[in-house]
Structure 1
Amino acid sequence: VLTDANGTLGTLTANADGKTWTATFTPTANVNDTTNTISVNLTGVTDDAGNAGVGTASSANYTVNTRSADTTGPTA
């Protein structure tokens, strides 16, 4: 689940260690936002021992800036 993420997350893929998962984040075009997080719902996820996940895990805050710099200044 993306929370105020300003982008999309690709398919999660398990790494060889079985503990780390990766996905590609693609930011939305023309965005400048300093408050973004990615949250993962752990309900329904199990580890190798069969233990069910509980709650959610969230990323640290990150910045998205895909807006090009406007160097033309205002016009009248």
Structure 2
Amino acid sequence: MGSSFLTWDQTQALGLHLPDPPLESEDEDEEGATALNSHSSIPMGPEHAELVKRTMAGLCLPAPSVPAWAPV
């Protein structure tokens, strides 16, 4: 029985991989530092947001991992 998950190579071939995170910079402004330290806010531009959406759309969780209240 095959896996419904994408392999790393398949993910990259579909353009669903995320770029490496930027290196930490000492020149980072205070607002950016606050956003990076916050779990509720991640600064990203429209292109990065679309990349994240495409990546998330390509994920497939096994049925037991999906809560009953979440539509499939």
Query: Which TM-score tier does this pair reach, normalised by the shorter chain?
Result: under 0.3
Higher relative CO (CA 8 A, sep ≥ 6), structure 1 or 2?
2
TM-score in terms of structure 1 length? 0.23
**Higher alpha-carbon Rg:** 1
TM-score in terms of structure 2 length? 0.24
Report the structure, 1 or 2, having the larger helix content. Answer: 2
